[in-house]
Amino acid sequence: MSEPQLRILEGVVTTLNDDGSANVAPMGPKVDQACQQFVLRPFQTSRTYQNLARSKAGVLHVTDDVELLARAAIGRLDPLPAIKPAGTVDGVVLCDACRWYEFEVTAIDDRQARTEIQAQVVATGRHRDFFGFNRAKHAVLEAAILATRVNLLPWEEIQAEFARLAIPVAKTAGPQEEQAFRLLSEYVQQARRPLADK
């Protein structure tokens, strides 16, 4: 794959755990223009990495459900969203995704803590149209990424970014975006308290 032709597509990846249960994780792989091959970059400590290294298959979903993205980012998917078996690979498809890409792993480079996993799409599907652009959806996506880095970034930076992101949420959010941003804000505040007590 030619690196300049790849770009990041924010989505959700499902894999199967060793007990057959579904793992749902937000991920932004580098994809080609046709979305036929891509590069995933999970950390080796993640369940997604462990599942892909073992099973060599998964499903990448494109969704406009930012509450799902937010809940997946902070590990609060209980219960799991509705799923169905994938058609070609040993995996599952999110029933409310806009579209999905079933893939097989073609190569794994795990010499770094953040692994590079090459994937080839073997089947695709579509449930519905993507909602469209909305500043609040983008803000929630950025907030979800910040929430996953609460122990890596300075608290002042996270606080300032959440304050900035709250503006487009207040101006353009619907109930889903409002709920997702509130959930992420509460998560970040709770994660901050143990750090402040040290």
51 and 89 inside one domain: yes
Global pTM value: 0.89
Q: Cα separation of 11 and 24, whole Å? A: 10
12 and 81 inside one domain: yes
CATH of the domain at 119: 2.30.110.10
The DSSP annotation for 68-98 comes to HHHHHHTT--SSPPPEEE-SSSSSEEETT-S
Q: Cα separation of 149 and 153, whole Å? A: 6
Q: Does position 6 have pLDDT exceeding 90, yes or no? A: no
141 and 122 inside one domain: no
User: Using one digit for the tens of pLDDT, what is the confidence trace for 22-49?
Assistant: 999 999 999 998 899 999 999 999 999 9
Between 132 and 92, name the one with better pLDDT.
Answer: 92
- Dihedral sign of CA atoms 155, 156, 160, 163 in order: positive
> Cα angle at 180 between 175 and 183, to 5 degrees?
125
15 and 109 inside one domain: yes
Among the three residues 105, 126, 147, which one is the final residue of a domain in this structure?
Answer: 126
- Look at residue 85 in the predicted model and tell me its pLDDT: 98
Say if residues 117 and 123 touch (Cβ distance below 8 Å). Answer: no
SS3 126: strand
Distance of CA 99 to the CA centre of its chain: 14
145 and 112 inside one domain: no
> What is the domain range of residue 10?
3-126
CATH of the domain at 180: 1.20.58.290
Give me the number of domains the chain comprises.
Answer: 2
Among the three residues 95, 126, 157, which one is the final residue of a domain in this structure?
Answer: 126
50 and 103 inside one domain: yes
User: Using one digit for the tens of pLDDT, what is the confidence trace for 60-75?
Assistant: 999 999 999 999 999 9
